[in-house]
Structures are given as structure tokens and as C-alpha cells.
Amino acid sequence: MAGPRTDHHVILRVVAKPLIPIISLFALYVHFHGDYSPGGGFQAGVIIVVAVVLYALIFGITPAMRAVPPVFARSLAALGFIIFAGVGVWALIMGGNFLDYDVLFNEEPGGHMGQHYGIIAVEVGVLFAVAGSMLSIFYAFAGRVTEIKDEDW
């Protein structure tokens, strides 16, 4: 993608490129540390999308779509919603109410495993749904502009 024509963005690319893995790592931290600190699936999903959007902004929308295909993004969104609702159905099958995590593992009263794993599963669902949806929305807008012209910056 980077030809001689776009070389004057080289500093931008060099500075932004190492940020992308750091942003993704931070998103994972926000997700898995959500039980202990502010954050959770929603924020983590948005931060992961920010990493992809940054990639799309500095390298162009086409390489970004090759790295994370739009079909993957929208499948991820649907899968996330299914995971969330699936935890509810799982609780229904185990004999409890919809999204009642206490019954997930048939524990003794006072056990918290069901709550912990239920929350983790639901947060994964939120992460997938939010990341996939936000990325699909970004692709829908950005995909209509073939390339950001230099005078638009």
C-alpha cells in the first residue's frame, strides 16, 4: 500500500503502528479485569475496534478489510449476541430463570462459581457483539469512500 506517493505519511505510520498491539492488549486487560476494576466487555469491545480503526486510518480501508474481513465482523456481532442469549437459555435448561447464573452448575447454595462463569460468558458475548457491531458500522461508512485523499486530512 505504501508507495512513493504516500511516503510523506511515513512518520505517522511508524508512530501509529506500535500503538495497535498495545491498544489491543489494553482491550484484553480491560475485558478480563472487568470483575476487579472499571471496564468490561462493552469498553473492551470498543477499544479493540479502535485498534482496527487506527489501522484503517493509517494504512487505508482495504488492508484493514483484508486483515479483519467485514464478514468476520458481522458474524462476530451475531455470535456475541447468541452467546449472551445462550447463557440465558443454558440457565433455563438447568431449571432456573432466564439469565439466572446461580443454577448454571447445580451448586450448593452459597457457591459463586455459576455467578463468576456466567458473568465471564456474558461479558465475552458483549465483547463480541459490540466489537463486531461497531466494526461493521465503521466498515459500512468507510467502505463507501475508496480512499481518504490527502487534502481531506
Partner 1 sequence: MIAGYTGADLAIALINVLLLGLLFVIGVAIARMRSLFAIVMLAGIYSLISATWFVALDAVDVAFTEAAVGAGISTALLLGAMLLTARTAKPEPFSRSIVPILVVIATGAMLVYATIDLPAFGDPDSPANTYVGTDYLERTPKEIAVPNIVTAVLASYRGFDTLGETGVVFTAALAVILLLGFGERSLSATFNRKKDKK
DSSP state of 143: T
- What's the burial of 94, exposed, middle or buried (CB within 10 Å: 0-12/13-18/19+)? middle
Residue 144 contacts partner 1 per CB under 8 A:
yes
Task: Give the number of residues in contact with partner 1, rule: CB under 8 A.
Answer: 61
Least CB distance to partner 1 at residue 153 (A): 9
Residue 68 contacts partner 1 per CB under 8 A:
no
The binder of partner 1 chosen from 31, 49, 55, 104 (CB under 8 A): 49
With beta carbons less than 8 A apart as the criterion, state whether 77 and 133 touch: yes
The binder of partner 1 chosen from 20, 46, 94, 103 (CB under 8 A): 46
Q: What is the CA radius of gyration of the chain?
A: 20
The binder of partner 1 chosen from 2, 28, 35, 150 (CB under 8 A): 35
Q: DSSP characters for 34-54?
A: TTTSS--HHHHHHHHHHHHHH
Q: How far apart are CA 28 and CA 25, in angstroms?
A: 5
Binding positions for partner 1, rule: CB under 8 A: 30, 34-40, 42-43, 46-47, 49-50, 53, 57, 61-62, 65-66, 70-71, 74, 77-78, 80-81, 84-85, 88, 98-99, 101, 112, 115-116, 118-119, 122-123, 125-126, 129-130, 132-134, 136-148, 152
